[in-house]
């Protein structure tokens, strides 16, 4: 059976775009504090500097050493690098191929991500910021909370459906044999 196209699966299309667009964002912004400075191209440094100047993002400022370090946030960056970043590729491929095998990994990713972004949102909201900075940061962070939250719920229902079907199959087979 050939895979259904992504356009026939609207939520999967949203998830696919989310994963694919997250790759350059992670490489250029999120992981930049983890790179040796000499390896970061000037235009990427400039983009990060522009983002910090316009948003006053307390998390990214801390990651870049421009504010008191937030060890918990640094641990989230390493989690993103070691777990979430590889999932972007694996999940995008699985969604592209319409594979149900990817649902559990996406569920784990989404639950982890919604949890970590919730902590980031709480920090942003608790930080004294100008209203335009807060609005920009909420516009930046809220989608990265809501999409994984929806993904968590959606994938939990999909996995539950698969498990229910698998558990019901032996009972149906034994009834057919009678």
Per-residue pLDDT reduced to its tens digit, 59-106: 999 999 999 999 999 999 999 999 999 999 999 999 999 999 999 999
Task: For residues 86 and 94, give the distance between their C-alpha atoms in angstroms, rounded to a whole number.
Answer: 12
Q: What is the pLDDT of residues 19-68, one digit of tens each?
A: 999 999 999 889 999 999 999 999 999 999 999 999 999 999 999 999 99
Domain extents for the chain? 6-171
CB 159 within 8 A of CB 102: no
Quick one: which of 133, 137, 155 has its CA closest to 145? 137
């Amino acid at each position: 059976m050939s895979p259904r196209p992504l356009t026939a699966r609207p939520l999967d299309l949203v998830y696919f775009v989310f994963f694919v667009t997250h790759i350059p964002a992670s490489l250029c912004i999120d992981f930049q504090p983890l790179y040796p400075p000499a390896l970061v191209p000037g235009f990427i440094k400039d983009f990060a500097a522009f983002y910090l100047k316009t948003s006053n993002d307390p998390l990214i400022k801390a990651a870049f050493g421009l504010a008191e370090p937030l060890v918990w946030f640094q641990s989230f960056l390493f989690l993103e690098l070691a777990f979430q970043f590889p999932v972007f590729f694996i999940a995008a491929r699985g969604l592209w191929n319409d594979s149900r095998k990817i649902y559990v990994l996406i569920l784990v990713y989404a639950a982890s991500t919604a949890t970590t972004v919730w902590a980031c949102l709480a920090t942003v909201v608790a930080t004294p910021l100008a209203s335009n900075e807060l609005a920009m940061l909420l516009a930046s962070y809220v989608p990265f909370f809501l999409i994984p939250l929806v993904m968590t719920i959606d994938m939990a229902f999909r996995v539950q459906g698969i498990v229910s079907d698998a558990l019901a199959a032996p009972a149906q087979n034994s009834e057919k044999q009678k």
